[in-house]
Amino acid sequence: MKRYIFIVAAVALATISCSRTYDVTPVSESQIGFGSWTEHLTKRAQGGDTFVSGDDFAVYGSKLNGSTTNTVFDDVVVTYDGSAWDYVTASVPARFWDPSATSYTFYAISPASVGTAATVAPQTGVVTTSASITFAGNDSDVLVANEKTVVKTGSPAAYATTPVPIQFNHIASLVDFKVKKHADLGNSTVAVSAFSISNIDKTGTFAVSDYADADPYGPVVAWTATDRGSYNNGNGLTAVTLPIANVGTTGDFLINNLIVMPQSFRTDSNIQTVNIEYTITDEASNVSTYDTSFNLKLFDNVDDKDNADTIIPSWEPGKHYTFYITINANKINFTGAITTWTVADDGYNYLIN
């Protein structure tokens, strides 16, 4: 299932005559005001579905005057105070529309710290290098906006005074792991005592090489991993308490809303693994304990089959994945049977005269 971000941001622009020269007292043009975000986020660093006070993004952008492109925004931080968004500070002037400009183009990265730590070309939005990011749990969400071009409208042509709509996309992946008890276990109970996924790409950098101008729109992102590690039911994730006692057939979370680096599933000696410890208590209160690990690549797209039909080769940016582990057991039973007598040849003879 995909989870995408659709956000409307208000971005104020400036009248400028050359790159990085801002007119803060325009004669006829008004400063563009900031509105509120009108769409909800599917997943944010704080675990909610909307922005909260203190969220921010870094904006980049330029204007076109004839054949000349001038930078307007270069890593300007726009911050939300709980009711409105703004970037104006004692050292950052307000920007205004330039009525002589042909068009404006904008790019943005959230959180702003990720954009500030990256090398971003304000006139193309291309990210050539970024600082190393460690995905520690729920707090590592990274958003990159689509390229947004604004032109004059109306007669006489003028720039709109409403907020500029910018659509952000997740460039990380979102993962859940759940556990179920197989119906064949009947009244037996299952309790999970430990769970982790190991050898996961956790630290790395991203680059944006281009922006798609046709559906699906969005940044063209590539991740480069620099370190690996493990995740368990801790790691600052949404609260999941182990042991999980009496696992049912509908599923219980082992890991919930884990934000991870997009990555391919390896087939060499460094495979990503799933590790789980659990007990099965039968109806006679006999307890059996198990500890098993298996290749993350072996999840099947059909439940209770041979664990051989790989669903996906990787975790991709902007996608939400849910993995189900079904615990079953085959009771060791005995039956008795007696083999028939084996006939030795056709009989044996002895003659007495």
Please tell me whether residues 188 and 141 are part of one structural domain.
no
Please tell me whether residues 14 and 49 are part of one structural domain.
yes
Please tell me whether residues 72 and 156 are part of one structural domain.
yes
Q: Which two tokens stand for residue 193?
A: 């005592």
pTM > 0.85: yes or no: no
List pLDDT tens digits, range 223-252: 999 999 999 876 656 667 788 888 888 889
Please tell me whether residues 17 and 134 are part of one structural domain.
yes
Q: Where are the beta strands (DSSP E) in the chain?
A: 56-65, 68-80, 85-86, 103-110, 119-120, 127-129, 133-134, 143-145, 148-151, 168-170, 173-181, 189-212, 218-232, 252-260, 263-264, 273-281, 287-295, 314-315, 320-327
Compute the distance between CA of residue 246 and CA of residue 80 in angstroms, rounded to an integer.
Answer: 44
Please tell me whether residues 149 and 188 are part of one structural domain.
no
Please tell me whether residues 60 and 179 are part of one structural domain.
no
pLDDT tens for the chain, residues 1 to 353? 433 333 333 444 333 333 333 444 444 455 543 333 333 343 444 434 567 888 888 999 999 999 999 999 999 998 888 877 788 899 998 888 888 999 999 999 989 999 999 999 999 999 999 999 999 877 778 989 899 888 988 888 888 777 777 788 889 999 999 999 988 888 899 999 999 999 999 999 999 999 987 666 789 999 999 999 999 876 656 667 788 888 888 889 999 888 999 999 998 889 999 999 999 998 889 999 999 999 998 887 766 566 665 667 899 998 889 999 999 887 677 788 999 878 888 778 888 88
Compute the distance between CA of residue 101 and CA of residue 26 in angstroms, rounded to an integer.
Answer: 14
Place of tokens 């979370």: 253
Number of folded domains that form the chain: 2
List pLDDT tens digits, range 102-145: 999 999 998 999 999 999 999 999 999 999 999 987 777 898 98
Give me the domain span that covers residue 188.
173-201+231-327
